Structure 1
Amino acid sequence: MISFLLCLAILIAAYFTYGKLVDQTLGPDDRETPAVEINDGVDYVVMPQWKLFLIQLLNIAGLGPIFGAMQGALWGPVVFLWVTFGTMLAGGVHDYFSGMLSERNRGASISEVTGIYLGGGMKNVMRVFSVVLLVMVGTVFAVGPAGLIVQLVKEKGASGILAQTTFWLAIVLAYYFIATFISIDKIIGKIYPVFGICLIIMAIGVAIGIFTGGHQIPEIWSHFYNMHPKATPIWSFMFITVACGAISGFHATQSPLMARCLKSERQGHFVFYGAMVAEGIIALIWAAAGCSLYEVTGGLNTGLAAVLAHGQSAAIYDVCIKTMGPVGVVLAMLGVVACPITSGDTAFRSARLTLSDWFGVSQEKYKNRLMLCVPLLGVGAILGFGNTFGVINYTVIWRYFSWTNQTLAMIVLWAAAMYLAKEKKNFWICALPATFMSAVSITYFVMAPECLGLIPALKQNTMVAYPAGIIVAVIFFAIFLRAARKEQSRA
């Protein structure tokens, strides 16, 4: 319990200390923001700071800090350290710079931002990479909630079309089309703050339930070992599994949405770094729930593994019921249905904006937005209905999301470090977490079953993967350091 409270205190303090240092490193000023300068009434719309914070939180969170933290709890309370220091030193930095560099480049999508600082080749790679990733995210967060709604209505005795996944998938996709097409302040600006507050209330309710229910959160110092029932290595599987709630490349695709709505650069600290700290706190609470509510057998989190085996949504229901009773059921239903949908629609919206930046298509006119919305949602519909009817199975492809997500975070951090080097500012604040995430991504890529770990000799082979990750990370750092010194030596 003490170690959990210490981590919670560090996270809160990080916003006022390290977060302030990050903000001062960039140096916000009184320049005119894209929302004020462009103000097209569609994507560039000035909104209040409190709304921007809650929308950003929901955009980057959804159920990520819940699902990821519950899975991370399988390794035991050591996950508290990753959530805490990952958020403070990496995730908050990543989200802040992905948002503020977009803001300083007329609200550009993250693919364009990385291209500015890492070159045209990286820009083209990131364009394709981002659009594919966003369409995949949007589709998964359409199919998943549709299936959950069907389960709920069947439990209530409904039948016929209301009990058909295809019907609810069509409804979700229709909503996605509307939310992607119209002005950001019409639906997202009005509904998201409400759901953001619900996400926070759900986490607070879980935290209160843990303490009032007499559950004991294990201490890090007495459980500083791998508690995973399958003995899955902590490095780097835990760092890949717990993305939202520590650091996630997906956030970099979402931050530009709010970068186009800032009234002042001085709002960036609260909106970007602050939202990441809030997500870290949510993840810390859910990780504590995973570590404290379930039976530990032989020092392993077997009870949690058994619950997660029934599906992540089932695990959320179980935690909410155990900590909040009947109220928890309502919040859980809202969480497992609404939160994925709110991540899905902004994924498609980000994909539209990425394509508009790529091809230079202004989004003020309806026909231009239709030109991009129709094919994007069309692909999402093909993938979604194809998966529902068993024609397309993208679950195998989705397995690569975890690795590609953290690789995206790595690239964005390197881009931010290069920006700071060009500006002759303290680039270490980005270069060090970029190096760390490079080691994480490469190590995972070498030994994960869905990557090079497909080769039997490499599957979870730490003797090969650990040195490979370290060597490649050092090479990346050396390449960056050479480029940074060249930039800083220029007059």
Structure 2
Amino acid sequence: MVAVVTALVLLVFIASFRFYARFLGRRIFADEEPGFVTPAHELEDGRDFVPTKRPVLFGHHFTSIAGAAPIIGPCVAAYWGWLPALVWVVLGTVFMGAVHDYGALVVSVREKGRSIADVAAKVVSGRVRLMFLCFIMVLSWLVLAVFAMAIAGLFMAVPTSVLPVNIAIVVALVIGWLLYVKKLPPLLPSLVALVVLYVFVWVGTKVPLDLADTGLDKDQVNLTWILALFAYSAVASLLPVWLLLQPRDYVNSHQLVVGLGLLFLGIFVAHPSFDAPAVRMSGDDAPSMFPFLFVTIACGAISGFHGLVASGTTSKQLDKLEDARMIGYGSMLGEGALALASTMAAVAGIGLVGFCALPGQGPVEDLSWAVYYDNWAHASGNKAAAFVLGGGAFLQQLGISAVLAQTLMAVLVISFASTTLDTATRIERFIIAEIGDALKVKALQNPYVATMIAVLPAIVLATMRVADGDGGVREAAWALWPVFGASNQMIASLTLLVLALYFWQRRRPVLPLVIPMVFVMGVTMFSLVLHLLAFWAEENWLLLGLTVVLSSLILWMSAESLGLFVRLLRERRAAREA
């Protein structure tokens, strides 16, 4: 049953690219325009604006958007059973997320590589631009903090992953030099690099690197990894995009595609049964399925962060306008496939696992869905463990040893998260520079100053502790993760609103943009209201205040954008009547 459902979902993804993406490209986005000069050629500077071949840019975009969120979200949402998670992943990916990503990329390219916030200034107003930028800045800090914490946690939990993940940085620098200095075709060097990386995955199982062996305690090890990760992401964001970011993402994309391929092959070989029920209603300690399912699985269905990547880095590297369909829509289908694999690991793979140790429960003799998801605290506290353990069980069905399978899964998660980490830092630098331009503060436009402002608040969020409402404490970034999910979805709905206004002014059909915008905006506003009530009840004033600020910005931007939409609609009706 699991193998059949998996195959059907993959076929739906393929069909949607063949038919629905083509419809969007021809009827709305007009991405088949011969002679169109992209910003990568018009504004080429060798640093951020760099014309890039489609396979290389696909690798960058896919690995940048497919971070830890499409893994963590489905692993948590499997608490409600396998059917709601799968339905939302499929419908969200095909009709919402991929449309959003594709449209954001096309509009940014048509507007000389400007960010969606910058485009909002042209479409709506300058006030909306500034609010959009401020909202994105806060959202990016949350992304950076949470992803750095996730990677640090996996380095600590799976020390065999440390060597293969970090050797990828050296390999990427070599590949960048070969591609752009020596002008070699990208495929062969990247395949050699892929072999090298998998060799080091095996070496990592023999030479685990655990900082705890140096005498540091758990908190000190965690802090060391977080600081090291932010130091890396700061440097990576300042280097020319062709030297590290592009080649690392391109090589990682091969590694990740192979990893996903092995996962699906393991599913088809194992033919597991669903270990989870189709639907499970919320228990006493769990939030209601509606609306929280739709914000728990964010990046695996639709994500505002993807629009930031599309308009922040990808649009500045697009070689041809017609490449936008594969890179924008196609990459989101790849992320949907990742969310599918994560869901199947959580609802079927963990039933194949025996003894293991869970982050929130400790040692478990015989793992099953009922044990992993016995309550909401365990479901949300174990985060991506279901993917690592369940996915590892699928790989073991192919004859891969347990330690190597677990290392492969950990490297897969970390590779997705780390590529998003350095891309998000670069985007945050662009956003802060745009805020500096809007406020006429030249210091903020300095790349080094902007990078420091991008990184330092994220470090604070990643290391700060706040009350958890039960008399204990937890990391501020994890406490804000539910707010991030809702805010991320709201950014997506606002981006869809800007896209709808943009193309409506150009007399294009916009219902494929308006329908997902209305749905996502309604669901996320409802969830934010529930978060506000929860933080109020917990007397968690820090999180309450931040949520109020974010919600106020959302309401203001929505009101201005919707007001413009209504005015334009009245003007168009008046023109027809005249």
Q: Report the TM-score when normalising by structure 1.
A: 0.85
2:341 to 257, 270, 285: 285
CA distance in 2, matches of 1:72, 1:368: 41
DSSP 3-state at the match of 2:247: helix
Q: Is 2:424 the counterpart of 1:347?
A: yes
Letter in 2 for 1:213: A
Alpha carbons 1:290, 1:304 under 8 Å: kept: no
Which range is displaced more, 326-335 or 98-107? 326-335
Alpha carbons 1:108, 1:357 under 8 Å: kept: no
Q: Deviations over 1:15-39 (max 9, x none)?
A: 1111111111110223211100001
Which range is displaced more, 190-199 or 332-341? 332-341
CA distance in 1, matches of 2:158, 2:63: 23
Q: Counterpart in 2 of 1:336?
A: 413
What is the CA-CA distance between 1:335 and the residue it aligns to?
2.5
The structure-2 alpha-carbon separation of the partners of 1:150 and 1:294, relative to structure 1 and needing over 3 Å to count, comes to closer
Alpha carbons 1:114, 1:411 under 8 Å: kept: no
The structure-2 alpha-carbon separation of the partners of 1:341 and 1:265, relative to structure 1 and needing over 3 Å to count, comes to same
The structure-2 alpha-carbon separation of the partners of 1:199 and 1:27, relative to structure 1 and needing over 3 Å to count, comes to same
Q: Counterpart in 1 of 2:533?
A: 452
Q: Deviations over 1:240-284 (max 9, x none)?
A: 111112101111111121011011111100000110011112212
1:258 to 314, 317, 320: 314
Q: Counterpart in 2 of 1:11?
A: 13
Identity %: 24
CA RMSD of aligned residues (A): 3.3
Q: Counterpart in 1 of 2:47?
A: 42
Q: Is 2:360 the counterpart of 1:360?
A: no
1:399 to 475, 482, 501: 482
Q: Counterpart in 1 of 2:178?
A: none
DSSP 3-state at the match of 1:400: helix
1:20 to 15, 19, 22: 22
The structure-2 alpha-carbon separation of the partners of 1:393 and 1:437, relative to structure 1 and needing over 3 Å to count, comes to closer
Letter in 1 for 2:435: W
DSSP 3-state at the match of 1:158: helix
Matches for 1:61-80 after TM superposition, within 5 Å: 61-76=66-81, 77-80=83-86
Aligned residues: 463
Q: Counterpart in 2 of 1:379?
A: 457
What is the CA-CA distance between 1:484 and the residue it aligns to?
4.4
CA distance in 2, matches of 1:329, 1:62: 18
CA distance in 1, matches of 2:77, 2:564: 31
Q: Counterpart in 1 of 2:198?
A: none
The structure-2 alpha-carbon separation of the partners of 1:295 and 1:233, relative to structure 1 and needing over 3 Å to count, comes to farther
What is the CA-CA distance between 1:181 and the residue it aligns to?
0.6
Letter in 2 for 1:452: L
DSSP 3-state at the match of 2:373: helix
Gaps of 5+ in 1: 457-473
CA distance in 1, matches of 2:462, 2:520: 32
Q: Counterpart in 2 of 1:305?
A: 373
CA distance in 2, matches of 1:170, 1:353: 22
Which range is displaced more, 327-336 or 178-187? 327-336
Q: Deviations over 1:73-94 (max 9, x none)?
A: 2222232211111111110111
DSSP 3-state at the match of 2:213: coil
DSSP 3-state at the match of 1:245: coil
Q: Deviations over 1:303-354 (max 9, x none)?
A: 4415746622432321132111334222122123332222111111101111
Gaps of 5+ in 2: 160-207, 353-367, 467-472, 538-557
Q: Counterpart in 2 of 1:82?
A: 88
Matches for 1:262-273 after TM superposition, within 5 Å: 262-273=318-329
Q: Counterpart in 2 of 1:461?
A: none
CA distance in 2, matches of 1:280, 1:443: 24
Alpha carbons 1:200, 1:282 under 8 Å: kept: no
2:566 to 462, 482, 487: 482
CA distance in 2, matches of 1:142, 1:241: 19
Alpha carbons 1:229, 1:301 under 8 Å: kept: no
Which range is displaced more, 264-273 or 368-377? 368-377
Alpha carbons 1:316, 1:332 under 8 Å: kept: yes
What is the CA-CA distance between 1:391 and the residue it aligns to?
11
Q: Counterpart in 2 of 1:128?
A: 134
2:268 to 198, 201, 211: 211
The structure-2 alpha-carbon separation of the partners of 1:147 and 1:85, relative to structure 1 and needing over 3 Å to count, comes to closer
Alpha carbons 1:49, 1:271 under 8 Å: kept: yes
What is the CA-CA distance between 1:441 and the residue it aligns to?
1.2
Q: Deviations over 1:350-374 (max 9, x none)?
A: 0111122333399xx9x93213112
DSSP 3-state at the match of 1:360: helix
Letter in 1 for 2:305: F
Matches for 1:47-196 after TM superposition, within 5 Å: 47-76=52-81, 77-153=83-159, 158-160=213-215, 164-196=221-253
